[in-house]
Amino acid sequence: MTMQQLLRFGGVGVLATVVHVLVALTASGAGVAPLAANFSGFGTALCFSYLGHARFTFGTVPRFGAEAGRFAVTALMGLCASSLTVWAVDMRLGLGMGAAMAAVALIVPAATYIGLRFWVFTGDAARGPTDGAGLAVAASVALAVTAFFWGRMINHDTAWYLLATRDWLAGAGLYTDLSEVNPPLNFYLTLPALGLADLFAISDTNGQYLALGLVIFASLAWSSAVLRDALALPVPRHILLVAGLGMAMVLPALNNIGQREQILVILAMPWAVGQLGAAGGRGAVARAALAAVGVCLKPHFLLLPLCITLWRVATTRSLRPVLSAENLTFVAIGAAYVGYVALIHPAYFTDIVPMAREVYGAYGAPMVLVVGVILLRGVILSSAALITSRSPEAMRLSAPFWALSAAGLGVYLAQGTGFGYHTIPFVAFGMVACFLAVITAVRLNVVAIALLVALALLSTEALRRGPYRNPDAIRIAEEARKIVDITSLIVLTTGVHAGPPAAIAAGADWASSYSSNWLVPGAINRLARTDCEAVPDVCARLRAIAARNRTDTLDDIEARAPELLVIDRRSGYFDRPGFDWISFMAGDPRWAGLFSAYDPWQNTERFWFYIRRRAVIHTGATASSSRGVPPQ
């Protein structure tokens, strides 16, 4: 892009934004609701923007074919971005319509530029018709995913982000009032789900599924367009390969839909598919920018661009790929993100990260368990990679995805927790490698048949696990629903699975500023293993960390007065099983008074249930107990 084109783009964009803002503010001043006012401004500016950019900025003649279709998609994404910005700034944060439109004026032009420059007005008249087949497959996969998961329980981590992001929008401070070990992008990427939930008056869980479906559609549609340029497959094979990409996005995450590892795979897929072509090329920077958003979800995800870089260095026998435009995009976005977090959420680096370094190791697992979780999938995929290597052409095409699968394995091993959802990138990119080798094969040979068997085994294993199931959260929710007009509940536990999803299933608020008491096990374990006489400062830090978690929990109980208090009798991640939460909480003198407001109610093999004394039980609900009497 020349400087003149950049100035023309800016001029048209400024004028279109002025039109948008003036119309929206006028409509808002006339009493139109904020979202409707924004829509009217967007619609008025749309025609001006298209004609101005087509004729003046990019010097093309407006066409009603592929270019118009791509512009419509870009416009729709701009509408979503502007509407979600208005919802977050005005309707949720309460900063007013003026502040909302100022945010729109910053965000929407940048997003529009990326779409127009790298996708809509490419100057390639021979690009051909819109990728109808790819769009149809992308829409089918997205609709199927949304419909299948609609109304189902969502996984525990995503449930926590839905609840905590609601609290953040209500005024709670990230990493000050809300304690979370992962960086803030996880909260920011939850905003669209909540915006869709409010916009369409649906549950937050269904809002998450709808947002996920939209992201899958956009990623698959983009990946399909890149595939068409890179491989030029016959239409039937192209359709099968796009469907394979969709399967790889969904099946490995079937029982943990919406987890960060799945979001990474979805956002990185267009960039990953772009590796099938020559380095760089049209849209490479935009694809890398989208992938960089996914990589920023966790620092471990940096292994993906690193492995791709090493693969390109090895295949080209040159160090030039290290400084590719894509890598520079990753670096720029990553550095900007770190700077943003340091500026806007400084407590993450000054408070959360130091504590996590002290105690989060308790969530690690023995290597034998870590390997055991992934053993079957590892054997299948390593065998598939060896089989693929027998066909030079198949290996040439699938090599970047084998590199990404290896990176996914590294991500899983580096985290060292044995959590099944950490394997999603490893399996997903390995599946794509298999699909590529099979679908691009000239004939159905031994290699292709063997890879089909590998895909069948991986798919069967994912389907056997099925959608997310959480018996503990369901049981807690069942007890909570027996309380008339329950507003909130809290669970003293070290596992996220027992609390946030139970609160959502019960239709109650989660009364804790923590997803779980994640600071406690690491502090307790290290204290038990440390010679405090030799290193008193270390023990003082650990005691302070455990005391902080206790104090914050008591503050939450005092402030929110949850009707249901649940105590986990078998909390995990402690070196010594059977951790006594009541004794631990009694370390703060406030506990006795707060706990006295609760009566023992239910008892299961794992949980003690306590009900707030003034809470009312639905008629017909009776207390029951098994295996002992709850402690008084």
Q: How far is CA 560 from CA 512, 563, 565, in A?
A: 9, 9, 12
Query: Does residue 23 carry a pLDDT above 80?
Result: no
**Burial code of 386-406, b = ≥16 C-beta within 10 A, e = fewer?**
ebbeebeebbebbbbbbbbbb
User: Is residue 410 in some structural domain?
Assistant: no
In a domain, residue 246? The reply is no
Of 82, 98, 120, at which residue does a domain stop? 120
Residue 46 maps to a domain: yes
Report which of 219, 217, 207, 209 is spatially closest to residue 266, judged by C-alpha positions. Answer: 219
Most confident listed range (38-42, 45-49, 497-501): 497-501
Answer with the residue of higher pLDDT: 583 or 627: 583
CA 163-167-170 angle, 5° bins: 140
pLDDT, one tens digit per residue, over 344-400 is 999 999 999 999 999 888 787 788 888 888 889 999 999 989 988 888 888 888 899
Residue 504, domain member (yes or no) = yes
pLDDT, residue 629, reads 47
pLDDT for residue 489 is more than 90: yes
pLDDT in tens, 246-302: 999 999 999 999 999 999 999 999 999 999 876 666 678 888 999 999 999 999 999
Domain final position from 53, 85, 120: 120
pLDDT digits (tens, 9 = 90+) for 400-427: 999 999 999 999 999 988 888 999 999 9
Q: Report whether pLDDT(552) > 50.
A: yes
Write out the two tokens for 458: 């991986």
Is position 158 within any domain?
A: no
pLDDT of residue 282: 67
What is the number of structural domains in the chain? 2
Tokens of 175: 């990493």
Containing structural domain, residue 19:
1-120
Query: Which residue's structure tokens are 């920023």?
Result: 296
The residue behind tokens 């016959």 is: 234
In tens, the pLDDT along 107-144 reads: 777 777 777 777 677 655 444 455 678 888 998 999 99
Could you give the CA distance from residue 32 to residue 27 in angstroms, rounded to a whole number? 5
Among candidate residues 120, 151, 174, the one where a domain is terminated: 120
Crossing angle of helices 446-465 and 367-388, in 10° steps, is: 150
CA–CA separation, 246 and 266 (whole Å)? 9
- Would 406 be classed as within a structural domain? no
* Strand 607-612 to 564-568 pairing: antiparallel
Q: Is residue 290 within 8 Å of residue 267, measured between CB atoms?
A: yes
Judged against a pLDDT cut of 80, whether residue 531 lies above it is answered with: yes
Retrieve residue 557's tokens: 């109980």
Task: Record the tokens describing residue 414, joined without a space.
Answer: 């580096």
Domain membership of residue 33 (yes or no) is: yes
Q: Is residue 23 part of a domain?
A: yes
Using pLDDT thresholds of 50, 70 and 90, give the confidence band for residue 456. Answer: very high
> Confidence class of residue 241 from pLDDT cuts 50, 70 and 90?
very high
Annotate 268-332 with three-state secondary structure: HHHHHHHCCCCCCCCCHHHHHHHHHHHHCCCHHHHHHHHHHHHHHHHHHCCCHHHHCHHHHHHHH
